[in-house]
Amino acid sequence: MSNKDAVGVLIVDDQEMVRGICRQVVESLGYQAFQAESASQALQIIEQQPVDLVLADIKMPGMSGIELLERIKAGNPRIEVIVMTGYASVPSAVQAMKLGAADYIVKPFSSEEMKVLLTRLAETLDLKDENRYLRERLRSRHALGQLVGQSQQMQQVFKLIQRVAPSRAPVLIRGESGTGKEVVARSIHETGPWRDKPFVPVDCGALAPTLIESELFGYVRGAFTGAVHSKEGLLQSAEDGTLFLDEVAELPSELQTRLLRAIQEKEFRPVGGTKRIPVDARILAATNRDLEAAIRQGSFRKELYFRLNVVSIALAPLRERKVDVPLLAEHILQRLAASQPDSRRRVRWSIASEALDRMLAYDWPGNVRELENCLERAVTLGSGPLIRAADLPSNVQSPVSAASTDFPESVIPLEEMERQAILRALAGAGGDKMLAARLLGIGKTTLYRKLQKYQQKG
Ligand SMILES: Nc1ncnc2c1ncn2[C@@H]1O[C@H](COP(=O)(O)OP(=O)(O)OP(=O)(O)O)[C@@H](O)[C@H]1O
Ligand SMILES: [Mg+2]
C-alpha cells in the first residue's frame, strides 16, 4: 500500500517473526509498514521513506536499539520511537525513555497489546500534526514579518503594508508610543522588492538639531571646525533602499524645508558642499504627535506633511485591540527566551491563565513596548518557564481603572457604567464575546444576559 497520508511505521527487529506480527498490526490499523533487519538498515530507510514512528528492538546484532534511538532523535526529533524489550532488559527500556523514546513494550507481546499501544500513540501523533498545522496557519494569517496581530485593526494594517510595499510611495506611520511604528516600517521595507537594499533609520528626536543636518545630508571636508574628512549622510546611505524618519515631528523647521526639497528634487547638497548629489530612497516617516495640530501651530510644514502622508497607516493603541495581547505576549516571550544568556532560561515559556487575565484587564498605556518590558522583567526575575500573576509588575497585577482616577464630575449611574464597560470590552476584544467576558471578569452567559437586556432597552 502507498497511502501518502498514512502514518509510516518502521519495524526494526532481527527476528522475522516479531516483524511479522508487528507488520500485521500496523497494516490492520491502516498505517504504512516498513521493515528493517538491523539498525543500520533502519537509518537508511528513514532517509528515504516517510517514517513517523519506529518500533525498535533493543537487542540486535551490530548497532543496538538504544543507539538507533539516539541517532534518530539527533537527526529527526519529530520521529517517535517505541522500544521493544525482553523481560531481562527492562532497565534499558527505562534508559530508552530517558533518551526520548515515546514508550516501550515488553516481549513477548500479543498483537492486541501492540494494537493498543500503536493506536494510543498514533492519536498523539495526529494531534501533534494537527497542532502544528493550526499553528502554522494561524501564524501565516496573523503575522507579517516580525509583526503579529489578529485584531481587525492589525489585519487591516497587514493588508495596507502588502499594498504599499511594492511601490516607492512615502508612508506616514502614526500611533501612540510603543504601538509598533518602527516594526511596521521595517515590515514595509522587508516585504518590498528593495529588501536587499539598506534600511536606514533616523531618529529625528534623539539627535541635537545642529547635528541632524550633517547626519542627514553629510558634509564635506572643512564645512565646519572639526570636519577634517568629508562624511556621507544618512540620506545617501539609504540610496536605493529606505530612509525611515522616526519622530519626524521633532525635525527643526529649516531642516523640514531642506528635506522636502531633497525628496522632491531627488538630490541634495551636503553641508558645505557645492555639488548636488542625486539620491533615490524610499521615504517612510513615523510620529506619535498630532501633525495636523503642529501644522496649525506653525511648527510643522504643511508641504512636507502632504509629501510624507501619501499613504497613512494608523496603529491603534493596544487597549483598543486587546485580542492581540495573548498572541503578542506569546511572540515576544519566545523571542525573549531565545535571547537569554542563561541556557536554563532558553526554554519555552508560557503564561498562567490568571496572569493572562490580569494582562487582559490592564490598559497598557505604554502599548506593546510596555507589554514587552513587563514580559522581560518576568523572564529575568521569574523562577520557571511559567509566568504567574505575581511575576507581573504591581500596576499590571491590580490595575486601577481609568474611571476611578478621574475626579467624578457628576455621579454616573452604576448601570450606565456597566454598560460602558461592556461596550468598551467588546470593542477591545474585537467583538469576541468570550474574550470580552474574560476581560470583564464575568461569565459568558452573564455577558449574554446583560447584552440582551441592553438590546431590549434599545
Ligand atoms: N504587532 C507587533 N508584533 C510584534 N511585535 C511588536 C508589534 N508591535 C510592537 N512590537 C514590539 O514592541 C516594541 C515597540 O515597538 P516599536 O519600537 O516599533 O514602537 P514605536 O511605535 O516605534 O514606539 P515609539 O513611538 O516609542 O518609538 C518593539 O520591540 C516591537 O518589536
Ligand atoms: Mg519608534
Would you say residue 403 has pLDDT above 70? no
Q: Are residues 375 and 230 in the same domain?
A: no
* 201-251 per-position pLDDT tens digit: 999 988 787 788 889 999 999 888 888 888 899 999 999 999 999 999 999
Residue 147 Cα: closest atom of ligand 1: 3
Best-predicted range by mean pLDDT among 150-154, 175-179, 325-329? 175-179
- 103 in Cβ contact with 95 (< 8 Å): no
| Residue 1 falls inside a structural domain | no
Mean per-residue pLDDT for 95-104? 89
Is the C-alpha dihedral spanning 100, 101, 102, 103 positive or negative? Answer: negative
Q: How far is the CA of 249 from the centre of ligand 2 (A)?
A: 12
Would you say residue 175 has pLDDT above 90? yes
- Ligand 1 neighbourhood includes 289 CB (under 6 angstroms): no
| Predicted local confidence at residue 122, as pLDDT | 75
CA 106 to chain centre: 44
Last residue of a domain, one of 123, 138, 153: 138
Residue 286 Cα: closest atom of ligand 1: 22
Q: Are residues 256 and 342 in the same domain?
A: no
Mean per-residue pLDDT for 98-104? 89
**402 confidence band (pLDDT: 50, 70, 90):** very low
**420 confidence band (pLDDT: 50, 70, 90):** confident
Q: Are residues 51 and 20 in the same domain?
A: yes
Q: Which one is predicted more confidently, 237 or 49?
A: 237
| Predicted local confidence at residue 1, as pLDDT | 40
Would you say residue 440 has pLDDT above 90? no
Q: Are residues 173 and 241 in the same domain?
A: yes
Distances (CA, A) of 194 to 86, 105, 119, 240, 338: 62, 57, 51, 7, 29
What is the rounded distance in angstroms from the CA atom of residue 255 to the CA atom of residue 234?
Answer: 14
Q: How far is the CA of 215 from the centre of ligand 1 (A)?
A: 25
| Residue % of the chain over a pLDDT of 70 | 91
Q: How far is the CA of 287 from the centre of ligand 1 (A)?
A: 13
Residue 175 Cα: closest atom of ligand 1: 21
Residues 8/6/17/77 CA torsion (nearest 10 deg): 20
| Predicted local confidence at residue 317, as pLDDT | 97
- Ligand 1 neighbourhood includes 148 CB (under 6 angstroms): yes
Q: How far is the CA of 325 from the centre of ligand 1 (A)?
A: 13
Q: Are residues 28 and 64 in the same domain?
A: yes
Residue 368 Cα: closest atom of ligand 1: 12
| Predicted local confidence at residue 303, as pLDDT | 95
- Ligand 1 neighbourhood includes 181 CB (under 6 angstroms): yes
Give the mutation target among 142, 179, 188 for probing the ligand 1 site: most ligand atoms within 8 A of CB: 179
* 23-33 per-position pLDDT tens digit: 999 999 888 89
- 365 in Cβ contact with 335 (< 8 Å): no
| Predicted local confidence at residue 392, as pLDDT | 93
Residue of the CA atom closest to atom 23 of ligand 1:
178
- Whole-number average pLDDT of the chain: 87
| Residue 73 falls inside a structural domain | yes
Q: Are residues 24 and 87 in the same domain?
A: yes
Q: Are residues 98 and 195 in the same domain?
A: no
| Predicted local confidence at residue 2, as pLDDT | 42
| Residue 119 falls inside a structural domain | yes
Mean per-residue pLDDT for 41-65? 91
263 Cβ neighbours under 8 A, 6+ residues apart: 170, 283, 307
pTM of the model: 0.64
- Ligand 1 neighbourhood includes 430 CB (under 6 angstroms): no
Q: Are residues 390 and 425 in the same domain?
A: no
Residue 184 Cα: closest atom of ligand 1: 18
User: What's the CATH code of the domain at 451?
Assistant: 1.10.10.60
- Ligand 1 neighbourhood includes 317 CB (under 6 angstroms): no
Q: Are residues 311 and 328 in the same domain?
A: no
Q: Which one is predicted more confidently, 135 or 261?
A: 261
Out of 32-41, 368-377, 387-396, pick the least confident: 387-396
Mean per-residue pLDDT for 86-102? 84
Q: Are residues 20 and 46 in the same domain?
A: yes
| Residue 402 falls inside a structural domain | no
Q: How far is the CA of 309 from the centre of ligand 1 (A)?
A: 21
Q: Look at the chain and report how many structural domains it folds into.
A: 4
Q: Are residues 149 and 27 in the same domain?
A: no
Q: How far is the CA of 193 from the centre of ligand 1 (A)?
A: 23
What is the rounded distance in angstroms from the CA atom of residue 70 to the CA atom of residue 80?
Answer: 11
Which H helix or E strand runs over 248?
none
Last residue of a domain, one of 316, 334, 364: 316
Mean per-residue pLDDT for 83-95? 83
- Ligand 1 neighbourhood includes 367 CB (under 6 angstroms): no
- Pick the ligand that lies closest to the CA of residue 184: 1
Domain with 439, as residue range(s), is 408-457
* 338-380 per-position pLDDT tens digit: 888 887 777 888 888 889 889 999 999 999 999 999 999 999 8
* 265-277 per-position pLDDT tens digit: 999 999 999 899 9
User: What's the CATH code of the domain at 227?
Assistant: 3.40.50.300
Q: How far is the CA of 177 from the centre of ligand 1 (A)?
A: 8
Last residue of a domain, one of 366, 397, 428: 397
| Predicted local confidence at residue 458, as pLDDT | 53
Q: Are residues 306 and 343 in the same domain?
A: no
Q: Which one is predicted more confidently, 425 or 389?
A: 389
Out of 85-94, 218-227, 399-408, pick the least confident: 399-408
- Pick the ligand that lies closest to the CA of residue 139: 1
- Ligand 1 neighbourhood includes 328 CB (under 6 angstroms): yes
- Ligand 1 neighbourhood includes 180 CB (under 6 angstroms): yes
Would you say residue 262 has pLDDT above 50? yes
**136 confidence band (pLDDT: 50, 70, 90):** low
